[in-house]
A and B are shown apart, each in its own frame.
Chain A
Amino acid sequence: MTGQITFVTVSVRGLCRNFGTRMAVREIDLELKRGEVLGFLGPNGAGKTTIMRMLTGNLGPSAGSIEICGVDLLDKPRDAKARIGYLPEIPPLYRELTVNEYLQLSARLHRVSNAKVRFARDKVIQRCGLNGTGKRLIGSLSKGYQQRVGIAQAIIHDPDVIILDEPTVGLDPNQMREIRALIRELGAERSVILSTHILPEVESVCDRVQIIHEGRTVFCGSIGELKQKETSLEEMFMRFTMKPNNPESLTSS
């Protein structure tokens, strides 16, 4: 924890991505330290999911560099990916497997040694509130439980960086609160990147917020500062994403 390299977990410079002639993501810079929760905000189609897919090696960037704990994702994808846990927008679940089987598969794929697989599995089952569902087929679980299994597979290998794409979508208010508490807890010792549309969620869970609009970062700041200035996140969000984006608004904030 002393050196700069271990402290900064995610370092992204000048990330771009084109789909044909359309630029989905342009010049995104991002830095995340251990123990920080970063909220990704932006209207639909702003490029949040595209950025997350690039951070997890699912999509190759057109330009820019990504370093995870000092390991370049493009040079050494396997070493870098071993440090990331990713929950995509639609949880990637095998409906035909039981929760236990699925989590064990996830642990093995993420290089958890054979001796520790069961231990790691029981730990995340406990942590994500999945007790008693181990022998059930994932396909028969409710949406909320499936979402928890999705989070469980992302954290089973104790990653340094956890990337969650809209983890609370479709959950009831109680489940949302539980998941938020879990994210908070995870964020204490790791780095979490969280994308969401729910502004109060960002305010309650995140340390820092980055607003993306049309593939660009339009705002980046800490929640604490916003609270000090007594500006609400909603105000900020509207200011940067409602009207056609003008660059001066960045400096005036």
Chain B
Amino acid sequence: MILIIARKELKILFGSPLAWILLALVQLVLTWIFLAHLDTFLQIQPQLIAIANPPGVTESVIAPVFAMAAIILLMAAPLLTARLIAEERRNHTMTFLISAPISVTDIVLGKFLGLMIFFSAVISLVTVLSISLLAGGTLDFGLLLSNVAGLFLISACFASLGLYISCLSAHPAIAAAGALGALLGLWVIDIGAGDEKESITRSFSLLDHYDNFNHGMIDTFDLAYFALFVIVFLVLSIRRLDGERLRG
């Protein structure tokens, strides 16, 4: 049943121009950044050779592109998550799903899965972009893999938070604004921490946890943070939709 819902989500998503426009724009922006970094790298390459243990192309081109990709996804995710539940309510199609012999858990997980498949498409495009560098040299596949994993996990966080906020609202635009606000807040929350490593605000910042993946370090604490984040918001969404039947 989860797969049926996910399939329906993807069909509707790709049936609208929104998905294609987002895919094209994200790819355009990232390619532009990729080329700019590549250009800089080629310029300073002669100097890099002189120093011992110089940063490779993966570190100086691909890692910054992935860092930027996370921020672009942060901006794009609310546009996609907003419609998940809020639009169903607006179009009165939520009744269609609730009346079917499926549980609310199936609905929420199906919608989450559908969106993650879309994000996977974005991530695989970025990965293909990075792999194109193989034409001119070798890559650090460990670092690339850690970046891909990090981007996948952080986009799962964006999706689950956006999904929950979409459950709270009957208007897609409000859901989008709410999700964007919450995500931006979680991005900048660690600003007050400064250089302090053990600050509590730092522990809550989404992009701070992504930073480690970006530098090639997969930390259990980061993994636990992302997993908890996704689970908490998925459970909250399910509870919220379930509770709605009782409140009316």
A108 B99 Cβ-Cβ under 8 A: no
Q: What residues of A have a CB within 8 angstroms of the CB of B245 in the complex?
A: 57-60
B101 interface hit (Cβ, 8 Å): yes
Smallest CB–CB gap between A61 and chain B, Å? Answer: 9
A90-B92, A96-B15, A97-B11 given; A60·B246 CB < 8 A: yes
A17 and B97 alpha carbons, distance in the complex (Å): 22
A82 B101 Cβ-Cβ under 8 A: yes
A105 B16 Cβ-Cβ under 8 A: no
Which chain B residues numbered 62 to 111 have a C-beta less than 8 Å away from chain A?
91-103
Per-position 1/0 for A80-108, Cβ under 8 A of B: 11101010101111111100010001101
Contact of B103 among A78, A84, A105 (CB under 8 A): A78
Smallest CB–CB gap between A157 and chain B, Å? Answer: 9
Q: What residues of A have a CB within 8 angstroms of the CB of B102 in the complex?
A: 78, 109
A79 and B102 alpha carbons, distance in the complex (Å): 9
Smallest CB–CB gap between A45 and chain B, Å? Answer: 15
A111 interface hit (Cβ, 8 Å): yes
Smallest CB–CB gap between A229 and chain B, Å? Answer: 37
A169 and B8 alpha carbons, distance in the complex (Å): 29
Contact of B99 among A86, A94, A105 (CB under 8 A): A86
A56 interface hit (Cβ, 8 Å): yes
Which single residue of chain A is at the shortest CB-CB distance from B107?
A109
A93 and B100 alpha carbons, distance in the complex (Å): 14
Contact of A93 among B93, B94, B248 (CB under 8 A): B93
B36 interface hit (Cβ, 8 Å): no
A72 and B2 alpha carbons, distance in the complex (Å): 24
A92-B93, A95-B91, A106-B96 given; A78·B101 CB < 8 A: yes
Per-position 1/0 for B215-248, Cβ under 8 A of A: 0000000000000000000000000000001101
A19 B92 Cβ-Cβ under 8 A: no
Smallest CB–CB gap between A55 and chain B, Å? Answer: 10
A97 B12 Cβ-Cβ under 8 A: yes
B117 interface hit (Cβ, 8 Å): no
A58 and B101 alpha carbons, distance in the complex (Å): 11
B200 interface hit (Cβ, 8 Å): no
Smallest CB–CB gap between A27 and chain B, Å? Answer: 18
B28 interface hit (Cβ, 8 Å): no
B4 interface hit (Cβ, 8 Å): yes
Smallest CB–CB gap between B109 and chain A, Å? Answer: 14
Smallest CB–CB gap between A104 and chain B, Å? Answer: 10
Contact of A19 among B4, B93, B248 (CB under 8 A): B248
B48 interface hit (Cβ, 8 Å): no
Q: What residues of A have a CB within 8 angstroms of the CB of B193 in the complex?
A: none
Smallest CB–CB gap between B5 and chain A, Å? Answer: 8
B101 A92 Cβ-Cβ under 8 A: no
B91 A94 Cβ-Cβ under 8 A: yes
A79-B101, A96-B15 given; A88·B95 CB < 8 A: yes
A26 interface hit (Cβ, 8 Å): no
Contact of A81 among B4, B92, B100 (CB under 8 A): B100
A57 B91 Cβ-Cβ under 8 A: no
Smallest CB–CB gap between B85 and chain A, Å? Answer: 14
B1 interface hit (Cβ, 8 Å): yes
B99 A58 Cβ-Cβ under 8 A: yes
A57 B98 Cβ-Cβ under 8 A: yes
Which chain B residues numbered 180 to 224 have a C-beta less than 8 Å away from chain A?
none
A93-B93, A97-B15, A105-B8 given; A110·B101 CB < 8 A: yes
Q: List 30 A-B contacts (CB under 8 A).
A: A19-B248, A56-B95, A58-B245, A60-B245, A60-B246, A77-B101, A78-B101, A78-B103, A81-B99, A81-B101, A88-B92, A88-B95, A92-B91, A92-B93, A92-B94, A92-B96, A93-B93, A94-B12, A94-B91, A94-B93, A95-B91, A96-B12, A105-B8, A106-B96, A109-B4, A109-B100, A109-B101, A110-B100, A110-B101, A111-B101
Known: A79-B101, A109-B97. 14 other contacts (CB 8 A): A17-B248, A59-B248, A60-B245, A60-B246, A60-B248, A81-B99, A84-B99, A86-B95, A88-B95, A88-B99, A90-B92, A97-B12, A106-B96, A109-B4
